Amino acid sequence: AVDMNPEYDYLFKLLLIGDSGVGKSCLLLRFAWDTAGQERFRTITSSYYRGAHGIIVVYDVTDQESFNNVKQWLQEIDRYASENVNKLLVGNKCDLTTKKVVVYTAAKEFADSLGIPFLETSAKSSTNVEQAFMTMAAEIKKRMGPGATAGGSEKSNVKIQSTPVKTSSGGCC
């Protein structure tokens, strides 16, 4: 049985996945303002994906290889996550306009072909960061339908919990 805490209206498990250095931690930190915890490296396994309601696949708009690797990340989702998990494709670092190599239209067409919502973000300037998390939460809530609240109350409480996963050698935010 799932242990639902009645303190929350909804309790979602979201994952951020993508190549090292694309800005996953920066996006989370920018959204949650949570710097607690020492990051440590952990191999992604099926247990990491298990129980996820949504997965945000992040690539770096200045790094073509990180975008090319999105296909592999999506294969990982298909392999390990539940069949109906919500996905969101995020192109991070959109503030670096002069270094951009993955154009918006190409990424949008790719996401549309798979039926996945797409946003470009900048953890540095906060562009679309809140929108990315709110889009994912709205999609999950829509899929879960009415009556899926944890406690049945009409309050709107959001609690972000961070489980650090990887240490990045690059500078964050």
Domain-located, residue 74: yes
How many other C-beta atoms lie within 10 A of the C-beta of residue 39?
A: 14
- Residue 151 pLDDT: 40
Q: What is the reported pTM?
A: 0.68
Q: How confident is the model at residue 25 (pLDDT cuts 50, 70, 90)?
A: confident
Consecutive H or E run containing 108: helix 104-114
Q: What span, in angstroms and rounded, lies between the C-alpha atoms of 146 and 141?
A: 8
Domain-located, residue 38: yes
Single-letter amino acid, residue 86: N
Q: Where is pLDDT greater, at 125 or 156?
A: 125
Q: Which residue segment(s) compose the domain that 72 sits in? A: 14-144
Domain-located, residue 172: no
Q: What span, in angstroms and rounded, lies between the C-alpha atoms of 10 and 1?
A: 16
Q: Judge whether 132 and 91 are in contact, CB under 8 Å.
A: no
Report the CATH number at residue 112: 3.40.50.300
Torsion of CA 167, 170, 172, 173, to 10 degrees: -160
Q: What span, in angstroms and rounded, lies between the C-alpha atoms of 29 and 56?
A: 14
Q: How confident is the model at residue 104 (pLDDT cuts 50, 70, 90)?
A: very high
Q: How confident is the model at residue 74 (pLDDT cuts 50, 70, 90)?
A: very high
- Residue 35 pLDDT: 29
Q: Is 148 a residue whose pLDDT tops 50?
A: yes
Domain-located, residue 151: no
Domain-located, residue 160: no
Q: What span, in angstroms and rounded, lies between the C-alpha atoms of 25 and 45?
A: 19
Domain-located, residue 169: no
Q: What span, in angstroms and rounded, lies between the C-alpha atoms of 75 and 20?
A: 17
**What domain count does the chain have?**
1
Domain-located, residue 96: yes
- Residue 23 pLDDT: 83
Q: How confident is the model at residue 34 (pLDDT cuts 50, 70, 90)?
A: very low
Domain-located, residue 104: yes
Q: What span, in angstroms and rounded, lies between the C-alpha atoms of 134 and 111?
A: 18
Q: Residue 120 carries which DSSP code?
A: E
**Tokens read off for 105:** 């239209």
100 contacts: CB under 8 Å, gap ≥ 6: 61, 62, 94
Q: Residue 55 carries which DSSP code?
A: E
